[in-house]
Amino acid sequence: MRKFNMSYVRRVGALEDSFLGSGLPYGTARILYEIGLGAGTVQELRIRLGGLDSGYVSRMLRTLETKGYVTVKPDPADGRRRLVELTEDGIKQWDDLERRSEERAHQLLDPLTPRQRDRLNEALATADLLVRAASITIEQVDPRDPMAQEAMGHYFAEIGDRFGFTVGDEGFGDDPSLRPPHGTFFVAASDGAPVASGAVREFEDTAEIKRMWVDPAWRGAGLGSRLLRHLEAEALRLGHRVVRLDTRDVLSEAIGMYERAGYERIDRYNDNPHATHFFRKELG
């Protein structure tokens, strides 16, 4: 990995030079690019850029504002925050960066045969997925937290899509069994966006796993089983040696994962009308 970095950065680092030639210094161009990727508050921007100093960002935004590339206005939802957006000119500038960068990449890969290019793309995609997977953090949050709400929103939307029925979103976070002291809700996040979630709660003297969800783009990266191990550890911490869960036949990937993780089929233990399969695992 380190060898790769050295050699890759030396060659492809030049890709970032394409940010130059835009008349903007690298840092400022990076901000402009990030805004174009998705407008939002200054705060979001700072996080996405890896925690830059607020003063530093503010100054760069001022530069972009006087150049007429962005507008900055107070967030109606919270007057302390400010929303940043590209102007027409800013969008033009952004497209320009994009084009230049694309061009540079093409030029770099020009000497390769199409087959080699495909191999490279595949290798980079694999590496990207894995590196991103490695940098995911699993954190306990209150189910009423926006992150948890977003994750559960995806969860219910997907259930709706796949099973053809809609689940009311009235009471996502109101289930007290998913909050301490009777349960715990976890969200796995990548770059501040939820990519997986799951909860453990107490149920009839055992622990039960609920709301297990993995972003479709992330399936196959081992995220599900990592989260599962996390939930099992939490079940132990809550004082339980047995975990149960229910799921539905169409979710064959999930069922496979539970089986690989050592879960065994049991009889129906609840009256969930949507569940068809029931599992159990002894911990420790």
Partner DNA sequence: GGAGATATCTGACTAAAGTCAGATATATGA
Partner DNA sequence: TCATATATCTGACTTTAGTCAGATATCTCC
Which residues contact DNA (rule: CB under 7 A)? 25-28, 41-43, 46, 52-59, 61-62, 72, 74-75, 78-82
Our CB check for DNA shows the closer of 39 and 157 to be 39
Q: Tell me which of a copy of itself, DNA, none is bound by residue 131, counting a contact when its beta carbon lies within the kind-specific cut-off of 5 to 8 angstroms.
A: a copy of itself
Residue from 38, 50, 171, 284 touching a copy of itself (CB under 8 A): that is 50
d(CA 199, CA 178): 7
By three-state DSSP, how is residue 99 classified?
helix
Selection from 237, 233, 238, 228 nearest residue 263 by Cα:
228
Contact (CB, 8 A) for 138 and 228: no
- x/- binding map, residues 108-147, to a copy of itself, per CB under 8 A? xxxxxx--x--xxx-xxxxxx-xxxxxxx-----------
Selection from 14, 26, 62 nearest residue 42 by Cα:
62
d(CA 231, CA 183): 10
Our CB check for a copy of itself shows the closer of 124 and 250 to be 124
Task: Examine residue 2 and tell whether it contacts a copy of itself (CB under 8 A).
Answer: yes
Task: Examine residue 16 and tell whether it contacts a copy of itself (CB under 8 A).
Answer: yes
Q: Tell me which of a copy of itself, DNA, none is bound by residue 78, counting a contact when its beta carbon lies within the kind-specific cut-off of 5 to 8 angstroms.
A: DNA
Subset of residues 149 to 188 that bind a copy of itself, contact rule: CB under 8 A? none
Task: Examine residue 80 and tell whether it contacts a copy of itself (CB under 8 A).
Answer: no
Our CB check for a copy of itself shows the closer of 153 and 222 to be 222
d(CA 30, CA 60): 10
State yes or no: cis peptide before 25, omega within 30 of 0: no
Contact (CB, 8 A) for 245 and 232: no
d(CA 257, CA 214): 12
List of residues contacting a copy of itself (CB under 8 A)? 1-5, 7-12, 15-16, 50, 101-102, 105, 108-113, 116, 119-121, 123-128, 130-136, 191, 221-222, 226
